[in-house]
Amino acid sequence: MNPAASAPVKIDVRGLTKRFGDLLVLDNISFQVARGEFLAIVGPTGCGKTTFLNCLSKLIPTSEGDIFIDGRVADPRVHNISFVFQEPTCLPWRTVRENVAYGMELKRFPAEKIRERVDTMLGLVGLSETQHLYPNQVSASMVQRITVARAFAVDPDLLLMDEPYGQLDVKLRYYLEDELVKLWQTLKATVIFVTHNIEEAVYVAERILVLSNKPTRIKAEVKVDLPRPRNLIDPAFVAIRKEVTELIRWW
């Protein structure tokens, strides 16, 4: 399960196992992610995708195995890890602009750099005009953009996304997926994107890991070697989508 040999390995997950008491959720998962790669992980609901990301980000301890970033054990104090959670995590008391700056403030970026980068990010996600509003004054899709912009803004070593667009309606989701791909191409982050939506995974990712049911293992790996922007009714696209669907349906 190695990424393309061209780019150096950025993330190395070795024998990741997670138990909650007697319940084995993640069973000896190993894989690698190349620098700047966009990896999607798909799996049925409840198979442990969120648990998996929580382990990768060190929010919860692993039972066995570990994750290495640039050859060192991942550590939020050392590495730059960003997480876009399934639930909205904008701070209601900060304006849009302050929310985008929030991650960089926590990372203690210099003020000048924060100002510059916030301007760039706001421009990239189309929030410049609404930057002085509070999150409760903008739409749900904008709130999700704020957290995505905030996550990219810190220039992360590893960007984890947990079904960030799961709650949005289809049109908005399409729009935000395009935006996400654009951000990734512009800012060159290493992304692990979790979703239960197969089409979404094929649309955004370069490679897809398919998870099994609990106890969860990596069931298959699918390369998505399609040009961008991708076309949903392109036969090659449809073929990959069907392949992944079959893999998931297989249990």
Ligand X SMILES: Nc1ncnc2c1ncn2[C@@H]1O[C@H](COP(=O)(O)OP(=O)(O)O)[C@@H](O)[C@H]1O
> With binding defined as CB under 6 A, does residue 48 bind ligand X?
yes
> With binding defined as CB under 6 A, does residue 161 bind ligand X?
no
Select from Mg ion, another protein, ligand X, none the partner in contact with residue 197, using the beta carbon and a kind-dependent cut-off of 5 to 8 Å.
another protein
> Using CB under 5 A as the criterion, which residues of the chain lie in contact with Mg ion when the complex forms?
50
Work out which of 13, 27, 51, 212 binds ligand X, going by CB under 6 A.
Answer: 51
Work out which of 29, 42, 49, 79 binds ligand X, going by CB under 6 A.
Answer: 49
Work out which of 11, 25, 56, 159 binds ligand X, going by CB under 6 A.
Answer: 25
Give the residue among 120, 32, 108, 20 at the shortest CA–CA distance from 68. 32
Least gap, CB of 188 to Mg ion (angstroms):
27
**CB-wise, 50 or 80, nearer to Mg ion?**
50
Least gap, CB of 104 to ligand X (angstroms):
28
Least gap, CB of 170 to another protein (angstroms):
5
Crossing angle for the helix pair 96-106 and 140-153, nearest 10 degrees?
Answer: 30
Give the DSSP per-residue string, 117-152: HHHHHHHHTT-STTTTS-GGGS-HHHHHHHHHHHHH
> With binding defined as CB under 6 A, does residue 209 bind ligand X?
no
Select from Mg ion, ligand X, another protein, none the partner in contact with residue 20, using the beta carbon and a kind-dependent cut-off of 5 to 8 Å.
ligand X
Point out which span in 3-11, 46-54, 176-184, 233-241 binds ligand X (CB under 6 A).
Answer: 46-54
Least gap, CB of 86 to another protein (angstroms):
8
Residues composing the chain: 251
216: left (phi over 0), alpha (psi -120 to 50) or beta: beta
CA 181 and chain centroid, separation: 11
Two structure tokens written together for 107: 């990372």
> With binding defined as CB under 6 A, does residue 47 bind ligand X?
yes
Least gap, CB of 106 to another protein (angstroms):
5
Per-residue exposure over 181-196, b if at least 16 CB sit within 10 Å of its own CB, e if not: bebbeebebbbbbbbb
Q: How far apart are the first and last CA of the chain?
A: 21
**CB-wise, 5 or 233, nearer to another protein?**
233
Crossing angle for the helix pair 170-187 and 111-124, nearest 10 degrees?
Answer: 130
**CB-wise, 25 or 101, nearer to Mg ion?**
25
| 140 vs 45: CA distance, rounded Å | 23
**CB-wise, 5 or 171, nearer to another protein?**
171
**Residue 203 in contact with residue 190, Cβ under 8 Å?**
no
Binding site for ligand X (CB under 6 A): 20, 23, 25, 43, 45-51
